[in-house]
Structure 1
Amino acid sequence: MTNKIDPYNYMKGFGNHFTSEALKDALPKGQNTPQKCPYGLYAEQLSGTAFTVDRKNNQRSWLYRIRPSVCHQPFTKLVPKFHHITNKFGIDDVHHIPNQIRWSPFKLLPENNKKTSVETNFVHGLHTLAGAGDPTTKNGLAIHIYIANVNMDNTAFYNSDGDFLIVPQYGRLDITTEFGCLMVVPNEIVVIPRGIRYSINFPDGSSRGYVLEVFGNHFELPDLGPIGANGLANPRDFLTPVASFETKECDFTIINKYAGQLFVTQQDHSPFDVVAWYGNYVPYKYDLGKFNTINSVSFDHVDPSIFTVLTSKSAFPGTAIADFVIFPPRWAVQEHTFRPPYFHRNCMSEFMGLISGVYEAKAEGFLPGGASLHSHMTPHGPDSVTFKKASNEELKPVRVADGTMSFMFESSLMLGVTEWGMSNQVHIQHDYWEAWKDLKSHFDATKEV
């Protein structure tokens, strides 16, 4: 599943202080803001945290660019009919539902060379599905689906509200950012922190995927505790682009997501004119196939938190605003154990998506490109077919989830579903509850253990 068609170069590591130059000696020597920068460039700092955040958590990068990003016309509001984004998650804005919810695969757009196609780029193809909290107070998250089929030609996007963790499910993403370029394929993820400008092209035509947006703390690697120094997502496997710049002068559109609304402006040059940069506030990607899975080798399940790739922590220790969790191919060897995920009621909200394959706890109905949501204390677990099979199969070492990659956005917040998420534009499986209707009582008080 490794990306073998990536034309770009990267630097390795998570949380590193990187240095990158597209032209030799473009970075100033010994200071950030000399009276005159090399090559006649402008110095511009991009801060991802407050200046006074403790050093270990402080994030910022210095960009040396042909023009500063302030060179644009005033922003104007993009009317809602041109987009499907919202960050309004109040009690009267979204549907808070205790039922199990499952969506069939979100419908792809026709290829853009067909007469019936609607031309939709990444930004206009974003649809908010669920969320909680408020970006203006920097607390909460949103879950979006993107469905697009055209490139962002001479258009860039940046998000003032939060960080985007993008999970492509169908089609590659060719991403140009102020820091350089990334090629992201299904089974990889990309994180673009707030404020960074980028443009997405689709080399394979129509594309679909999932987006987790966090309004508060940035994503970080989870603490490993008793696991020790190694395992799960290893820092060396995260990739950050190298400096690459454009000198293009043309009409360029900049779209900004601000307090859940879209604003648009124009400028006469490309925003991707950063010749050199250094710092630790950067976009990055990660190949999910490189995740080092930890699991039980004796009996019972380890909690699914053992599959956490990245986390955005809340103010309460051990509790996340959002965890990004995957369920990769692995061995199952537990003895005397019901091996699929157990029946569960959780004080966290669980949004599941499927990139490829067949999820081990659902025999049918949960399909690649679809999703499910089990919010606070909503009971869920394996369907009746899976329960019957797993209760009677021989417990020998077996491979689990080969050819499959499923994931979970887990949150301590109660997620509400948007009007779009409940509309006829998506296919909610109203018979989802029937997945458990054939679970019968096997209780027998006379039967010895």
Structure 2
Amino acid sequence: MAQFSFLVNARPSTLSREFLNGTYAGGILFPPDRAAAATVAALAGPLRRRFVLADNGAYDTIGKIAASLPPSADNAARVKAVRTAAGAVDPNSQLAEQLAVRPDAFIGPEDITLACWLRAGVGETDLVQRRSELRRRNRSVARRGLTMQAAHPELTVYTVASAHDYDSAFDAGQALGDTGVRAVAMGFGAFMADDSWTTRIKYGGRWLPLPQALPMRYLRTAQVVRGFFDGWAAAGSAAPDRFHFLGLGAPVMLPLSAYAARSVPSVTYDATSPIKDAAQGTLYVSEPAKLKVRTWNVLERMVLDPAHRWNCPCQFCRAFCLNHPFDEARIQMLASQSRPLTAADLRVGRVAAQAVPLFAVGPGPLGRAAEQARAGHNHWTVGLTLRRLSAAVDLRAAAAADVATYVANAGAAHFGQSVAMAWDLVSAGNA
């Protein structure tokens, strides 16, 4: 049975037994930058018993290359410039830093060309024309992955597959499966950060029209994860031993992706979104559905309905609220406002922030403590979701139920429709 877990990004605020235990963390993802030297020392103590995966730092390199392109460059120019810049990057430039933390595993060979194209805004029509090139690149990365694994037999080396749609993901899965790679990572952060919409998707060599324009982020994520495992199966290889979802932490996408990867014994995730969302006043919830909710909207409902309160059982919310309880009198004061609450109302010092300190945003001890509590809460929600998926007797039924409740409770119909279609892509003909 597959086991699903979340790896916490190593930061001074996350490297404590209390945080890791309270979030059901499966381990720690360590970024290879010298600024995080303090976290290296933390790993020398009791935390070292945790699974440690060292990242390769490619995310930052991808951003720098994309940002270096002239805004006026057309797609053809961007494709060529990225190909040159990505090809000049030393693929082992971060290896010494990765190995310095004495990890159990590390993110290994990766061809960042496609990721740079995506970040640079190269259009889908141009990308699909590069299928044969991407196939060659994935085969090359797979061979490099085997070589690196042989050089570090005491560690697990994750080879990074690259894809942008079902077809390129199928090719990537087939390439890595054919080569004999046993641990795979794929990046999904760029997909989930994509705010574009689409009226068609490329699937199985054909363009399929959609009934209406839908958000691309959910559809692309579903296409890629389904395509990869279909390609791997076509290679006739046993499922990989490990699979890591780089940059995927959105609550609703966990059951979909978990179901697609159900044949893999060890499936892990990481993302900085639980931390970034907490800083911006976004909380993750499991009831009534796997949703992201804005703190000011939660408070608005509390003002309108005295029976509705934030009664989260996680240790982070409980500990914070014990020291900074809700002020019911101030909550009722907000009812006299003639306008809806906004994010600005929750700045430290404002009445709304005094009413519910857990939702406060801003500098100072209170703002920092509230942000840390929300980050812990978001990680707890993700960790608990994956723990329940690991224990599910019928994973397909559990994932389908999560999708159904999301569709019924999504704040906007198009998000629900996109997630429903994403589930269809992942689950159709895939019992």
TM-score range, shorter chain: under 0.3
Give 1 or 2: higher helix fraction.
Answer: 2
- Where relative contact order (Cα < 8 A, 6+ residues apart) is larger, the structure is 1
* TM-score of the aligned structures, taking structure 2 as reference length: 0.25
* TM-score of the aligned structures, taking structure 1 as reference length: 0.24
